[in-house]
């Protein structure tokens, strides 16, 4: 895992240095430093559910970066503890953007019933607290209803149907 974590950290930092990546990624790397990213990536493989949940919450700030997205997808369907799923999903949804919602919607495709319940609870708990939240959620679903990923597109359309 150490070699993989080092490689991902270098790619995350390289995206900032060479492509002027998103402000969210840049601020997260600066705030947590490379060591913070490394600890999130290593924490994602921890036997401790609490450490995996914290890793999901920390990595949510890097949604949209392919190297982080793969780890986040895995944490969203964590078979060891539904709290990991819930914490990761809530952190992604609290971003209130298409990147975070896209990962959560995509996770429904590979989710068992318990995991799908946790994802739904997180989604409605974060995205439907207020009328403004629900409107933002509907607008994001409308964008993701045209996503190239069929699983994301299908879930976005399903939620739009429920909101409609």
Q: Cα–chain-centroid distance for residue 66? A: 11
Half-sphere exposure of 96 (CA within 13 A, CB side): 10
Buried b (16+ CB within 10 A) or exposed e, 4-30: ebeebbeebbebbeeeebbebbeebbe
Which conformational region is residue 46 in: left (phi greater than 0), alpha (psi within -120 to 50 degrees), or beta? beta
Looking at 21-35, 37-51, 80-94, 121-135, which range is the least confident one? 21-35
Q: How many structural domains is the chain composed of?
A: 1
Q: Which of the two residues, 71 and 22, has the higher pLDDT score?
A: 71
Domain containing residue 45:
2-163
pLDDT in tens, 75-114: 999 989 999 999 999 999 999 999 999 999 999 988 999 9
Q: What's residue 35's pLDDT?
A: 58
- Cα(132)–Cα(137) distance, integer angstroms: 9
The predicted model gives 45-69 an average pLDDT of: 94
CB 6 within 8 A of CB 40: no
The predicted model gives 131-138 an average pLDDT of: 95
- Whether 27 has a pLDDT exceeding 70, the answer reads no
- Whether 28 has a pLDDT exceeding 70, the answer reads no
The predicted model gives 33-53 an average pLDDT of: 86
Please list, in sequence order, all residues whose beta carbon lies within 8 angstroms of the beta carbon of residue 3, skipping any fewer than 6 positions away.
Answer: none
């Amino acid at each position: 895992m150490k070699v993989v974590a080092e490689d991902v950290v270098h790619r995350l930092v390289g995206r900032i240095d060479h492509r002027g990546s998103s402000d969210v990624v840049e601020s997260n790397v600066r705030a947590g430093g490379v060591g913070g990213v490394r600890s999130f990536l290593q924490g994602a493989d921890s036997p401790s559910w609490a450490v995996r949940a914290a890793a999901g919450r920390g990595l949510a700030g890097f949604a949209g970066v392919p190297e982080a997205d793969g780890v986040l997808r895995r944490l969203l369907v964590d078979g060891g503890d539904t709290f990991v799923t819930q914490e990761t999903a809530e952190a992604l949804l609290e971003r209130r953007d298409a990147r975070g919602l896209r990962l959560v919607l995509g996770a429904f495709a590979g989710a068992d019933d318990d995991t799908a319940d946790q994802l739904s609870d997180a989604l409605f708990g974060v995205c439907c607290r207020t009328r403004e939240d629900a409107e933002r959620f509907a607008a994001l679903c409308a964008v993701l209803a045209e996503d190239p990923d069929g699983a994301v597109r299908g879930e976005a359309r399903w939620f739009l149907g429920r909101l409609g």
